[in-house]
Structure formats: C-alpha cells, structure tokens
A = this chain, B = another copy of it.
Amino acid sequence: VLFKELNSLGLKINQQKLTILDQELLPHREVWLEVSDPYQMSNYIRSLKVRGAPLIGVAAALAIADYAKKDVSRDELLKSAMTLRGARPTAVNLMNAVDRMLPLLKVPTPSVANLVAKATEIFEEDVRLCLEMGLEGAKFINDGDTVLTHCNAGGLATAGIGTAVGVIKTAHDQGKKIHVYVDETRPLLQGARLTSWELHRHGIPFTLICDNMAGFLMSLGKIQKIFVGADRIAKNGDFANKIGTFTVATMASVHKIPFYVVAPSTTVDPNCPNGKNIPVEQRDPKEVIGAEGHPSSQVYNPAFDVSPRHLVTEYIGCKQYLDL
C-alpha cells in the first residue's frame, strides 16, 4: 500500500514519509521534520509545530494511516488515535478527523489500504474546501480594499490555500489590488511569523501591526473588511478562534466593518449548541512572560476566545451547517 505524494505548505507525504514544516521556527528557518508515529505527531501538535484547526485534523488522520503501515496492532492504533484526539481541546477539526478514522480502526482487522485512502480523502477534501471558500469569500473583497486578518488562517493552517488567507489569496489572484493588515497575534505571533511569511511568499502586500493597533486603525477608517478563521463553530454560529478574535470582532461591530468567519464544514461542531459549550485551552504562562515579562508574574493565557454570532457579518464555507 502506497501513499500518493501529498503537498501542502506545512505538511507533506514525500517518498512515503510523513513530514511537517516546523512552524515554531518560521519565518527564520524552514525545517522539515519526519513524523515517526502518532505520539510524536501529538507532541508536534501540542507544541504548535503543526497548527491550524483544519491542518491538525489532516495531520492526525495521516499519522494514524502512516502508523498502520508499520504493522502495529489494532489496539495500539486505537490507543494512538485517542492520544491524537486529545492533543488539543478547542479545535474540533482534530476530533472530527480522528472520528472519521475510528470506524476503520474498530473492525477486527483494520485495513491499511482503507486507512490510507480515508486519510488521503481528508487531506484532499480540505484542499478542495479551501478552494471553494476562496472563491466564495473573494466575492466580498473589492478591488482596492484593505483587509485585516488575525492569527494565521492560511496555507500553513490547512492542507490547501487556507481559510481566511485563502480568500485573500484568491482575491489577489483574481487581480484585485488589496492590502492586508496582519495582527501579530500574541503570545505566539502566528501573524507576525506565519501570515507574514505566507503573504510575502504569495506576493501580497501587507503591513504588520501589534494586536492593540487594530482598533485604532478601524477608527481611522483604514480597514474595509476583516477575515478570520475558526477553531470550532457551535450550531448557533458562536465560534472559537485565536485569542484576540473577540476583540477584533467587537471593534469591527462598533465601527460597522464587515467581519467574515471563513471555515470549512469540518470546523462546525454539531454537538455544540452555543459558544458556552466550547472548551478554551489554557496554555503555559511562559508563552506570555517570554523573555521580557517580570518573572514573578501570574499569567492568564487562554489560547482562544469565543465570539457570539451577532458579531459575524457572514460565514464562508460553513453557513449551511449552522442554525442561524
């Protein structure tokens, strides 16, 4: 049983080897790491070497299929899948992807071919969904628009062109002249490190700002549209996304700036009625204190926040799955 070659900005199957681009080291070093088994992939997901709600789902599915090729027992496969499933609590794409692999593992003798086919399907589906979201969302961008995005909802966060950044790339590729303000996105700077890297690579002009500058820019009339991704969307449209999104969404609402959530169907949690039911991952204080903070600081470090549906102008890619 062979994998096809699979290529995305942050993850590849190349000569039957599953590798990931170490996103902790971007933008300064581009280092690809081979993934030996699902436990290592879980660690890479926890440490954010692999990140982005759609991508961690795809990465988990591929890690399971790759492990199955290594002649491990059904019980071991199941155990490793459950470890992956619990690697991060907020992004539901991870649970969704593992849950699509589970029925193939819960048979007496799991078929490697079926597991490889399913994981490949999950990868290719994400590529396709990104392209569809790109086209759907690009309609909302006018020639000359300046748009804002938060965190990285790009090719590094998906198997394809990205969600929010995929929309921006699509509009750019359609010949629309656009400029992007990139929130640096503390504490781990996914905007400054990853979205900047990706936009630069794609030739899209951008300006990097600190998160606390976005609201002031809105008040100055410098932002026409805002596009963000999501990590989990409740049935009613409330959604979790990278910490800071709620403030961006609220400031957009105050300034009557259209605010778009771009996410595939795999980001919708049909079992989650509203935002109150979305668990918010709390991460290590060290991420906030970094090199500069006072070492005696207590720290609050939620990785995500939850925004209510009323702040969202339009959902792109997932609207038909929501009860709005």
Contact B250 A193 (CB under 8 A): no
Closest to A299 in B: B208
A293 proximity list for chain B (CB < 8 A): 27, 184, 189, 192-193, 196, 208
Asked if A300 and B217 make an inter-chain contact with CB atoms under 8 angstroms apart, the answer reads: yes
| Additional A-B contacts beyond A210-B244, A247-B251 (13; CB < 8 A) | A27-B294, A181-B300, A186-B212, A200-B297, A207-B297, A208-B300, A209-B301, A212-B244, A213-B244, A213-B300, A215-B305, A247-B247, A250-B250
- Give CA–CA (A50, B111) in the complex, Å: 68
Q: How far is B181's CA from A250's CA once the two chains are assembled, in angstroms?
A: 20
A-B contact pairs, 26 of them (CB 8 A): A182-B297, A183-B212, A184-B288, A186-B186, A186-B212, A192-B288, A192-B289, A192-B294, A193-B292, A196-B293, A200-B294, A208-B293, A208-B294, A208-B297, A209-B301, A210-B211, A210-B244, A211-B211, A212-B243, A212-B244, A215-B250, A216-B243, A216-B246, A216-B306, A217-B300, A247-B251
Top-3 shortest CB links A-B: A212-B244, A215-B247, A196-B294
1/0 per residue, CB under 8 A from B, across A85-109: the answer is 0000000000000000000000000
B200 in contact with A296 (CB, 8 Å): yes
Q: Interface size on A (CB < 8 Å)?
A: 51
Q: In this complex, what residue of B is CB-closest to A285? A: B208
Assess A298 versus B208: contact at CB under 8 Å? Given A184-B186, A247-B251. yes
Give chain B residues whose Cβ lies under 8 Å from the Cβ of A161: none
User: A187 at the A/B interface (Cβ < 8 Å)?
Assistant: yes
Judged by a CB distance under 8 angstroms, whether A2 is at the interface is no
CB nearest to A194 among chain B residues: B294
Residues from chain B with Cβ under 8 Å of A187 in the complex: 210
| Bound Cα distance A17, B217 (Å) | 43
